[in-house]
């Protein structure tokens, strides 16, 4: 199987940094693409969501919530012990892995589409559900035990930012609009939000490659143990997500998406939240691991692996 | 027209804390501020502004000397230990004393 | 009838502001979308225009011109008297309502398309025709009587800016190119300027929602009488436009478009022009009314109402 | 290298009048200017720059003291009553006296 | 034959400047479109390249390389003698004409598509091949003889920038990805990188028109002899490219593309490189000629002429 | 908090040489810099920043007096003859002496 072209764009971005090319994407394009991807994923999911019996989604939604809240509790001791990081850093990184990466989710959708495996688009709602719990648990890990005071910025602010931060807001907004207008109502928006999706994802991955390639220096400073964590964490958390998906009786597509979400680490919502909530954590470490190791691993190898396993284990 | 001496406080820091810094400055007596997107490099490495966590902002605040020093000291104490931050003061002259 | 998804995007933007979300669209996206919409509307109109007997359009063009020049004369005494504003503010707001909103026009086209009502695309030329007269009359109202001196920036500058300002220039440019290349020549541009139109309009309305939501504070300061004006003005001027359309014997689509143009208030050309020509007018008032009240009213209720009436009255 | 004292005039105002302000400054003796897009807040409320009417610009002009004061006084008289505008002066040193 | 709409967009941009319109395209749009065009041209070429016997392309690749290296040697004495420019300026301008304009290439593809003439998309690789040699020769002309010292910035830097500068990097990256994933793999990216190409090119030409229109002042200062050079150079170098294409036995499409590349002058890579390598050259002269004269000539008249000649001479 | 006098060096020049200028400044002793995109006009005409060759950048460097003058003199000698460039110095006060 050849690589998804979308992944090749990521490598093209990394390569540009390694080759010290002057290639940069304008900030506005980066922002536009991330707004677009969130809306597009939401709209598509919403159309599907309106067709579903919402109650039937409850088990997987609840599982996803639990996964996001539990993963930091597993990651934290690993980061404290074997990796040997201070509390604040360990908690911050744990939060990143509890939360999720919407672009990794989009890549998984793309990989499933290429493989001809049905991917439930309504799982987009899981991205919104899994964004915040991991972050909250991460903050608790950093703060709760070290004297009991709350996060630097106050819980109210953080909760608000988690719910109304642009990522969750656009995703939920897209879901809602998609559900309200349905398949037929969406038709005039499809050329933009449907047909262009894969191309836009490719461009965004080019940008992610540029960003990730620029963090490789952070990685060197972070040391080999954090790099190892960045490679093993998606395997471990992906396996947990995979198991949860199988236990819920999902199809191969659903299992793959759940495994991918569990395996993915946030690099949009979590960095912003942790920067404000746990200022003493070094962002170079968490971003280096999430964006420099885990994200590339997932998009190049991980997602394909989860799909392969899901197909073996569901048939 | 008569000129009045004031201080210009310049703060270059992470975009993530722009809102908090502006709020603090207002609370400590600033009547206004001007913000612009910047890139740069310093002790904490290069900040290219290519994506969210990497964005920097330059804030300029013109105010009285005491206010400026109060704000600067607060920011340095509250944020500089954990955030990329550069702060300086300069002397400026304004025309409308009551505005600053 | 469910809401047009395009309108839901507007509400999503307003909601983001009310919920104090950090959602912002990059400036460059806003500018790009407004350039795109103007060109797309122009190109589509131009292709149609080339097919028409231009003389047959003259009556509606002349009517549109008169509407734009007359509406400020009706708005001004209402704003001076019942609303109780100073001369400069009343004149500035009157100019906004004499001029037109190209995005409201685009929403009307979208609503007509959804309803399966034929909308004459060549009416795009009316947008260009109606942009400037209202502004000129507004400036005369502010200046002409208060000592007779011209606008702060000189008539020459203002006239030039009205004709070659980017809105009118792009619209006329699009019309011209569309007319020159015709249906067949436009084919290779259709994927960008045709198929993506509705999606781009949705994104632009998201941005307009963000901007309008951010002006709600201005409204509170402006007081209830200006808000009432913002709600009644589109009904009044829409009715005049509707009557004019019926008198001209237009079809339901044409009547709806003319009513919409009359009912709409400018928030691009007029604010810029009035800022320069009548600096003593407070822009928060005119923009608050035009963008905070009339625009939302038109896109959510007004346009549908004009269509409903147009269908009743033309059949 | 020899240094020459000059004034830096900083003007923060609405983008709508940038062209007019630059024209006036040139007419009153400025040899050059530098402009950049900014956001900010002051007496007239927040200016976020999200769309046309809300955009602000910062203009910097280095010139002789008299020129600087002449420009500042003209701008404050002509525009400040009706436009969001902030103006200040600062002392700077330049190397090429003839340029400013 | 009516004008290609794409060319009308260029004229619209020029007209905006001449009319002193405030129309500007955001920087980010300009950058995004240039990244997009390079990738799109590369991807399309790459898909085709993978289908070809690479050896069979060698002759035309080698010819293209030679053309790029030779053209400055012809341009330089013309610019020194008849045009009467100092060495640095003559060398810098010569470099611009040795290098190529990717947008002119794209316009030629568009013209060929409209005319129903088959255009070999794999010729995109020639754009990458012809970018650098002309620049290197231009630098040698400026430096080599005037004391023998290297370019101001060092050869290493310049060579690196030529190979990994964003233009060549994106073009080669697109070619590589296109070749790796092939026709089928590209399918999901086609709505963005294929269908929208002509529309995006039109928008980019609008921007180029704005830029070119803004350089007309430079032209006046440059004098009539440089303007004459800007008009004759594409005819001369286009004829050489045409001859080379005929000698290689290419079809009408291939001949037209090679002539266009030879006739075109760089206004992205070359200006940047010459600014750094030959700082004493006045950029207003080279950009005025390349962008103010030759580019407009090529897109409005030149390309059509090369095609007309190619059709006559290959049939 | 104690304040320390430093120099602010402002350099406005073509974006094409930003990298080179920053490298030179670092080599000559600058510990950091801040960059932002600007437009402007001066002796070499208008630079609107509409495309690559027309882009300008403003660099700010806070450092000691000697360093500032060394950098300024080097830049003026190395680049000003052939590039659009404007340079000035201003006095500022910083709080963390060791940082600059
Ligand atoms: N010496 C300096 N002069 C000007 N700006 C500086 C300087 N040092 C740091 N900065 C700016 O302040 C930001 C944070 O600095 P730092 O905390 O030292 O990494 C940098 O990214 C630069 O934008
Ligand atoms: N004290 C201040 N310090 C720095 N910038 C200011 C200050 N006051 C106002 N500004 C800037 O000047 C603009 C107009 O100010 P104003 O006319 O007070 O609303 C604001 O939007 C700010 O960008
Ligand atoms: N007097 C001035 N005040 C402020 N900025 C200036 C001045 N002169 C020139 N500049 C800036 O420096 C750039 C280069 O100047 P020049 O080399 O004179 O063309 C201009 O594009 C402006 O951005
Ligand atoms: Na996760
Ligand atoms: Na109207
Ligand atoms: Na050439």
CB-CB under 8 Å, A202 with E191: no
Output b/e per residue, C90-106; b: 16+ Cβ within 10 A: bbbbbbbbbbbbbbbbb
Atom from ligand 3 closest to the CA of residue F84: 17
Distances (CA, A) of E229 to C110, E132, E133, E256: 51, 22, 21, 21
F88 ligand 3 Cβ < 6 A: no
Residue corresponding to tokens 């001007």: B34
What is residue C150's predicted lDDT score, i.e. its pLDDT? 52
B5 ligand 2 Cβ < 6 A: no
Range ranked top by mean pLDDT from A164-168, A268-272, C102-106: C102-106
What is residue D4's predicted lDDT score, i.e. its pLDDT? 97
Contact indicator for D30, D72 with CB cutoff of 8 Å: no
Q: Which ligand is nearest to the CA of C133?
A: 5
The CA-to-CA distance between both ends of chain A, in Å, stands at: 21
What is residue D15's predicted lDDT score, i.e. its pLDDT? 94
Neighbours of ion ligand 6 (CB under 5 A): E 100, 264
Domain boundaries, chain A: 5-15+24-314
Atom from ligand 3 closest to the CA of residue F39: 23
The minimal CB distance from E287 to the residues F14, F16, F53 is found for F53
What is residue A151's predicted lDDT score, i.e. its pLDDT? 58
DSSP letter for each residue of A66-118 = HHHHHHHHHHHHHHHTTS---HHHHHHHHHHHHS--HHHHHHHHHHHHHHT--
Q: Residues of chain E with pLDDT > 70: what percent? A: 96
Most distant CA pair in chain F, distance: 45
Name all residues whose Cβ lies below 6 A of ligand 1. B 12, 38, 40-44, 47, 56, 84-86; F 30-34, 60-63, 100
Q: What's the CA gap between A205 and A41, in Å, rounded?
A: 16
| Across E274-279, average pLDDT | 88
pLDDT band for A273, please (50, 70, 90 cuts). confident
CB-CB under 8 Å, D41 with B36: no
- pLDDT higher than 60, residue C187: yes
pLDDT band for A161, please (50, 70, 90 cuts). confident
> How many helices (H) does chain B have, and how many strands (E)?
2, 5
What is residue A163's predicted lDDT score, i.e. its pLDDT? 80
Closest approach of D16 to chain B, Cα-based (Å): 17
What is residue A218's predicted lDDT score, i.e. its pLDDT? 83
The minimal CB distance from B88 to the residues F8, F31, F35 is found for F8
Atom from ligand 3 closest to the CA of residue D35: 23
CA–centroid distance, E160 to ligand 2, in Å, is 45
CATH topology for D4-99 is Alpha-Beta Plaits (3.30.70)
Write down the ipTM of this complex.
0.94
| Across C10-35, average pLDDT | 94
HSE of D79 in the Cβ direction (CA atoms, 13 Å)?
Answer: 27
Residues ≥6 apart with Cβ < 8 Å to B76: B85, B87, F1, F95, F96
Task: Select the more confidently predicted residue: C263 or E315.
Answer: C263
HSE of A139 in the Cβ direction (CA atoms, 13 Å)?
Answer: 25
Structure tokens at B80: 């500089």
The minimal CB distance from D53 to the residues C24, C271, C280 is found for C271
CB-CB under 8 Å, E272 with F17: no
Q: What's the CA gap between F60 and F12, in Å, rounded?
A: 9
Q: What's the CA gap between C170 and C191, in Å, rounded?
A: 19
Q: Which residues of chain D are within 8 Å of residue F80 when distances are taken between CB atoms?
A: 96
Q: From B59, A295, D23, B62, select the one nearest C276 (Cα to Cα).
A: D23
Is the Cα dihedral C85, C87, C91, C92 positive or negative?
A: negative
Atom from ligand 2 closest to the CA of residue D46: 21
Beta-bridge partner residues of B36: B58
What is residue A152's predicted lDDT score, i.e. its pLDDT? 62
Q: What's the CA gap between F9 and A11, in Å, rounded?
A: 39
Q: What's the CA gap between B29 and E297, in Å, rounded?
A: 60
Closest approach of F4 to chain D, Cα-based (Å): 18
Is the Cα dihedral C43, C44, C45, C50 positive or negative?
A: positive
Interface check C180 vs E, CB under 8 A: yes
D67 ligand 2 Cβ < 6 A: no
> Which of A30-44, B12-26, C145-159, E114-128 has the lowest average pLDDT?
C145-159
Average pLDDT, chain C: 91
Residues E55-107 have pLDDT tens digits of: 889 999 999 999 999 999 999 999 999 999 999 999 999 999 999 999 999 99
Interface check E161 vs A, CB under 8 A: yes
The minimal CB distance from F37 to the residues D8, D36, D95 is found for D36
Q: From C109, C126, C70, C68, select the one nearest C270 (Cα to Cα).
A: C68
pLDDT band for A147, please (50, 70, 90 cuts). very low
CA–centroid distance, F51 to ligand 1, in Å, is 27
Residues B13-68 have pLDDT tens digits of: 999 999 999 999 999 999 999 999 999 999 888 898 877 788 999 999 999 999 99
Atom from ligand 1 closest to the CA of residue F31: 1
Interface check A190 vs E, CB under 8 A: no
What is residue E147's predicted lDDT score, i.e. its pLDDT? 46
Structure tokens at B97: 């004393």
CA–centroid distance, D59 to ligand 2, in Å, is 13
| Across C47-71, average pLDDT | 93
What is residue E150's predicted lDDT score, i.e. its pLDDT? 52
Q: Which CATH architecture has domain A5-15+24-314?
A: Up-down Bundle (1.20)
Q: Residues of chain A with pLDDT > 70: what percent? A: 96
Q: Which ligand is nearest to the CA of C100?
A: 5
Residues C117-176 have pLDDT tens digits of: 999 999 999 999 998 899 999 999 998 655 445 556 677 877 787 788 888 899 999 999
Residue corresponding to tokens 């990081």: A85
pLDDT band for A85, please (50, 70, 90 cuts). very high
Domain boundaries, chain B: 4-99
The minimal CB distance from A275 to the residues B16, B49, B50 is found for B16
| Across F74-87, average pLDDT | 95
What is residue E153's predicted lDDT score, i.e. its pLDDT? 65
- pLDDT higher than 50, residue E203: yes
Taking CA–CA distances from D91, the nearest residue in chain F reads F90
Continuous segment of H or E residues that includes residue A246: helix A224-247
Angle CA B53–B57–B58, to nearest 5: 160
D44 ligand 2 Cβ < 6 A: yes
| Across D25-53, average pLDDT | 92
Residues C227-243 have pLDDT tens digits of: 999 999 999 999 999 99
Interface check C86 vs D, CB under 8 A: no
Entry pTM: 0.94
Q: Which residues of chain D are within 8 Å of residue B11 when distances are taken between CB atoms?
A: none
CB-CB under 8 Å, B31 with D40: no
CA–centroid distance, C101 to ligand 5, in Å, is 7
Interface check B1 vs D, CB under 8 A: yes
Contact indicator for B62, B5 with CB cutoff of 8 Å: no
CB-CB under 8 Å, E25 with C181: no
D48 ligand 2 Cβ < 6 A: no
Continuous segment of H or E residues that includes residue F89: strand F85-94
Q: What's the CA gap between A209 and A193, in Å, rounded?
A: 23
| Across A43-57, average pLDDT | 90
D15 ligand 2 Cβ < 6 A: no
Interface check A22 vs B, CB under 8 A: no
What is residue E29's predicted lDDT score, i.e. its pLDDT? 96
The minimal CB distance from A5 to the residues E165, E181, E191 is found for E181
Pocket test for ligand 1, best of B10, B13, B42 (most atoms within 8 A of CB): B42
Residues A188-198 have pLDDT tens digits of: 999 999 999 99
Task: Select the more confidently predicted residue: C207 or E147.
Answer: C207
What is residue E219's predicted lDDT score, i.e. its pLDDT? 83
Helix ranges restricted to H, chain F: 18-27, 65-78
- pLDDT higher than 50, residue E249: yes
pLDDT band for D44, please (50, 70, 90 cuts). confident
Interface check D94 vs F, CB under 8 A: yes
Pocket test for ligand 2, best of D13, D18, D41, D54 (most atoms within 8 A of CB): D41
Average pLDDT, chain A: 91
Residues ≥6 apart with Cβ < 8 Å to C18: C213, C216
- pLDDT higher than 60, residue D93: yes
CA–centroid distance, A26 to ligand 4, in Å, is 28
DSSP F98: G
Q: Which residues of chain C are within 8 Å of residue D54 when distances are taken between CB atoms?
A: 211
| Across E27-36, average pLDDT | 94
Contact indicator for E199, A56 with CB cutoff of 8 Å: no
């Amino acid at each position: 199987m050849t690589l998804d072209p979308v992944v090749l764009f990521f490598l093209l971005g990394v390569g540009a940094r390694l080759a010290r090319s002057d290639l940069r994407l304008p900030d506005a394009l980066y922002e536009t693409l991330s707004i677009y991807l969130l809306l597009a994923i939401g709209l598509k999911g919403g159309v599907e969501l309106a067709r579903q019996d919402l109650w039937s989604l409850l088990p997987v939604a609840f599982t996803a919530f639990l996964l996001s809240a539990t993963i930091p509790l597993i990651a934290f001791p690993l980061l404290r012990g074997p990796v040997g990081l201070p509390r604040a850093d360990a908690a911050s990184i744990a939060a990143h892995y509890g939360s999720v990466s919407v672009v990794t989710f989009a890549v998984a959708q793309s990989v499933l589409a290429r493989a001809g495996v049905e991917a439930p688009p309504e799982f987009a709602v899981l991205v919104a559900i899994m964004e915040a719990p991991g972050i909250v648990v991460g903050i608790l890990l950093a703060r709760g035990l070290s004297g009991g005071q709350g996060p630097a910025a106050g819980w109210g602010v953080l909760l608000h930012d988690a719910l109304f931060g642009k990522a969750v807001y656009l995703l939920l907004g897209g879901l809602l609009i998609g559900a309200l207008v349905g398949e037929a109502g969406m038709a005039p928006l499809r050329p933009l939000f449907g047909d262009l999706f894969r191309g836009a994802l490719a461009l965004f991955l080019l940008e992610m490659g540029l960003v990730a390639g620029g963090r490789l220096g952070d990685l060197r400073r972070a040391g080999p143990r954090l790099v190892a964590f960045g490679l093993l964490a998606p395997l471990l958390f992906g396996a947990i997500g995979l198991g949860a998906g199988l236990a819920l009786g999902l199809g191969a597509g659903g299992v793959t998406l759940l495994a991918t979400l569990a395996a993915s680490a946030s690099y949009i919502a979590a960095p912003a939240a942790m920067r404000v909530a746990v200022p003493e954590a070094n962002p170079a470490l968490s971003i280096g691991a999430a964006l420099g190791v885990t994200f590339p691993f997932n998009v190049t190898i991980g997602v394909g692996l989860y799909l392969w396993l899901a197909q073996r284990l569901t048939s | 027209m008569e000129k009045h001496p004031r201080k210009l406080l310049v703060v270059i820091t992470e975009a993530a804390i722009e809102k908090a810094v502006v709020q603090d400055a207002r609370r400590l007596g600033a009547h206004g501020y001007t913000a612009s997107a910047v890139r740069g490099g310093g002790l904490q490495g290069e900040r290219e502004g290519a994506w969210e966590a990497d964005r920097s902002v330059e804030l300029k605040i013109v105010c009285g000397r005491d206010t400026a020093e109060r704000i600067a000291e607060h920011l340095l104490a509250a944020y500089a230990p954990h955030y990329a931050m550069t702060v300086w003061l300069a002397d400026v002259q304004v025309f409308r004393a009551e505005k600053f």
